[in-house]
Amino acid sequence: MALIVQKYGGTSVADIEKIRNVAKRVLDYYKKGHKVVVVLSAMAGQTDNLIRLAQEMTPQPDPRELDVLLATGEQVSVALFALAVKSMGYNACSLLGFQVAIHTDHLYGKAHIHEVDTERILKELEKNKIVAIAGFQGMDEKGNITTLGRGGSDTTAVALAAALNAEVCEIFTDVNGVYTTDPNVCPKARKLEVISYDEMLEMASMGAKVLQIRAVEFAKKFGVPIQVRSTFTSERGTMVVAETKDMEKVVVSGVAYNKNEARITIKKVPDKPGIAAKLLEPMFKAEIVVDMIVQNTSEDGITDLTFTVPKADFYESMKRVSDVAKEIGAEKVLGDENIAKVSIIGVGMRNHAGIAQKMFQALANENINIMMISTSEIKISCVIEEKYTELAVRVLHDAFGLENDPQEDR
Amino acid sequence: MALIVQKYGGTSVADIEKIRNVAKRVLDYYKKGHKVVVVLSAMAGQTDNLIRLAQEMTPQPDPRELDVLLATGEQVSVALFALAVKSMGYNACSLLGFQVAIHTDHLYGKAHIHEVDTERILKELEKNKIVAIAGFQGMDEKGNITTLGRGGSDTTAVALAAALNAEVCEIFTDVNGVYTTDPNVCPKARKLEVISYDEMLEMASMGAKVLQIRAVEFAKKFGVPIQVRSTFTSERGTMVVAETKDMEKVVVSGVAYNKNEARITIKKVPDKPGIAAKLLEPMFKAEIVVDMIVQNTSEDGITDLTFTVPKADFYESMKRVSDVAKEIGAEKVLGDENIAKVSIIGVGMRNHAGIAQKMFQALANENINIMMISTSEIKISCVIEEKYTELAVRVLHDAFGLENDPQEDR
């Protein structure tokens, strides 16, 4: 007798037959007496088709109108889903962003949800309807259509679960949970039973695509338990929840990697107050996301500064940095696109010593040179040569025994 | 410096290139200083694709959800159009039914417009934007999406023109105006300079597809002048306007035909009060549209009743009528699907004698037998054998000299 929010991704609603299967799946819950709110993405490929159409019209489509165009993708999905449920003899009702309403700011293409009204949803649920809500879309204060950015349907689902005080937010996708690392890289990768919001955030920021970062942040903020699971099996997935004492017993939960960054080093920078700010300012102005930043202790008032940027922004960044470097009298600027970042993640790190050392040793054993190191409370990241990425992931997965279920160890 | 409403049909926005051309066309008006509100249909074929998708899901799609699905067609068009205008360096803004808002009743699939808000449109026009409005769609009082039925974008355009007090409502389509008759049937068909609302209504009800009937009714009610013209030429089209004294000089404006009806005759009906009502009641209950109804003067208290129904409803109608016919003691029920209706239309008929006689004689000269006759103030219709349709149209077009421009006669 619970209220459940379920989100089905694009591959889960890729065609009429798949939408019918999702309807059957949802009805299984409904028949058990649960109230079900379903959030749907656009049919697989549809959003890309619409973007292509817009770009055929103009290489830089106006963001407001692009959102109007893209929002049709999810609108088609929810209408077809409601038709499927009704054709099976049950009652359903689709609701679009403006009908719910899902209130957002006016940042087209990457809007943030401010508030979710629940009145209309609750009214439809009381009439014993399955409520299908278009993911990814909202409405700003002027009634303009906004979209939440790639993977935004996850955020829609979590925001709805928070607003409706749902028992759980189930994210149905084409993988059956969150793994200790990418199974394509490391065959020993193991599906996690449970993971904390913070660990999930670190995994997601490293490119694990099962959940959108914003959705996890939202879930953390409002304490919404998420289950990530497969549309195509009935297997239990991975619970993403608030951290518990128990979780700290597991030192490392997962290994993540990211090949989408490039490294820029400014050599022999005069180490004066404000120099780092001055060097990075042109990046911020160009809205280039600077990730890792490392500066060593200076020697004789001279230091080196290294940071990473998305590969797509590498050339632009090199140009901008070189200009400032000249200006401030730095020796030279070095760039390297052939890097990767590997990270170990785990809330247990906080209370365990020697984790970093174990990581560095494992990489050293394979003669993998570490170019940069950066640590946070629950993550240690190393920048290495790109060609060693897969090897490094497997070595670290082994080193921390991630193939073994920690539950069984106790 | 006028405010103009322009509507472009599906073939006019069939692909990216065509939408770009529409944008250029609209900008021509805009650059002359006019304020332009553009109403767009879905890209040609798109609505059919969406209907097919819905029917793939279920043979009888739920009307509410079907409307949610279909409304995406026009949403795509307006977004792409606005992108086109913006890419040309001008400002545009798309608005959907709910954003305008276009208020309708809740008859999904065939909703009627109750009211059109103008505030948002005027605000955007004041900002020198070209406002692109999704045709065919509205919103009921609960915020549900509704659609207006096939060709509903015409009605959207006329309703907007009325609400905005526009100088003219231009309907851009793939023909360059309203013709004296179907040019495919009669090569001598001539484009009309001007036609009255009432004549246009009669033409439309006879299957002339250039304008939706509801749109003409709306235009007549609010006195909105319509110009029907081609998207693909700059030629002047046909003005559809309120009747003027001048128009009455033209006796017959056009010849129309309709092959989509079937005839049902009930023979030897006891002629008692209420008998016609009783015979037709089962039609009304099944929402079958009965068109022509003819009953002759009775002889010895016995009469024949004949009426026409859409061909699609013929078998259902025969079944229903046969049941009642038996009940009331009629002799028999005859049905004929191979009929057609040809009509001559003209406001001038009101003041001219001998028109009917001229029509009947023209048909008789070709040995075309008339099965039913029905007249209105501005129309005379004859039901004939279907195989004579085209011949009849050409004969009547000749008989009333429609190939000659009446303006030149004076």
The DSSP annotation for A276-334 comes to HHHHHHHHHHTT-----EEEPPPBTTEEEEEEEEEGGGHHHHHHHHHHHHHHHT-SEEE
> Which residue stretches of chain A have pLDDT < 70?
206-208, 407-410
For chain A, the domains span 3-174, 244-410
pLDDT digits (tens, 9 = 90+) for A338-382: 999 999 999 988 878 788 889 999 999 999 999 888 888 899 999
Interface touch A57/B80, C-beta < 8 Å: yes
pLDDT in the model for residue B409: 47
Burial of B7 (0-12, 13-18, 19+ CB in 10 A): buried
Cα-based torsion angle of the residue sequence A101, A107, A113, A117 in order, rounded to the nearest 10 degrees: -20
CA B330 → CA A237, B316, B326, distances in Å?
A: 72, 19, 6
Which range among A294-298, B125-129, B206-210 shows the weakest confidence by mean pLDDT? Answer: B206-210
| CATH architecture for segment(s) A3-174 | 3-Layer(aba) Sandwich (3.40)
Interface touch A62/B78, C-beta < 8 Å: no
In chain B, residues with a C-beta closer than 8 Å to the C-beta of A120 are 143
Which residues are paired to A385 by β-bridges? Answer: A339
- Compare all CA atoms of chain B with the CA of A86 and give the residue at the minimum distance: B62
Is A19 in Cβ contact with B64 (below 8 Å)? no
Find the closest chain A residue to B58 by CA distance.
A87
At B43 the pLDDT is 97
CATH number of the structural domain A244-410: 3.30.2130.10
Token pair, residue B160, equals 């907007």
B93 touches chain A (CB under 8 A): yes
Mutate one of B58, B74, B75, B119 to test the A interface: name it (highest A CB count within 10 A): B58
Q: Would you call A65 and B54 a contact, using CB atoms and an 8 Å cutoff?
A: no
Residue B410 clears pLDDT 50, i.e. is over it:
no
B66 near A CB under 8 A: yes
Q: What tens digit of pLDDT does each residue of B27-83 get? A: 999 999 999 999 999 999 999 999 999 999 999 999 999 999 999 999 999 999 999
Q: Look up residue A385 and give its two tokens.
A: 């040569």
Structure tokens at A329: 């009298």
Shortest Cα–Cα distance, B83 to chain A (Å): 6
* CATH number of this structure's domain B3-243, picked from the four choices 3.30.420.10, 3.30.499.10, 1.10.10.10, 3.40.1160.10: 3.40.1160.10
Which CATH superfamily is B244-401 part of? VC0802-like (3.30.2130.10)
- Cβ pairs bridging A and B (under 8 Å): 115
What span, in angstroms and rounded, lies between the C-alpha atoms of B20 and A145? 23
A290 touching B (Cβ < 8 Å): no
**8 Å CB contact of A86 and B99:** no
Task: Report, as an integer, the average pLDDT of B309-324.
Answer: 92
Residue B206 has pLDDT above 80, yes or no: no
Please judge whether A83 and B69 are an interchain contact, meaning their C-beta atoms are less than 8 angstroms apart: yes
Cβ separation B71–A71 shorter than 8 A: no
What is the greatest pairwise CA distance in chain A? 79
In whole numbers, what is the pLDDT of chain B averaged over residues? 92
Indicate the pTM of the whole model: 0.85
Q: Which of A79, A93, A143 sits opposite B69 (nearest CB)?
A: A79
With an 8 Å Cβ cutoff, are A54 and B79 in contact?
A: yes
- Taking the CA of residue B21 and the nearest CA in chain A, the distance in Å comes to 11
CB contact under 8 A, B80 and A93: no
Interface mutation target, options B43, B46, B83, chain A, most CBs of A under 10 Å:
B83
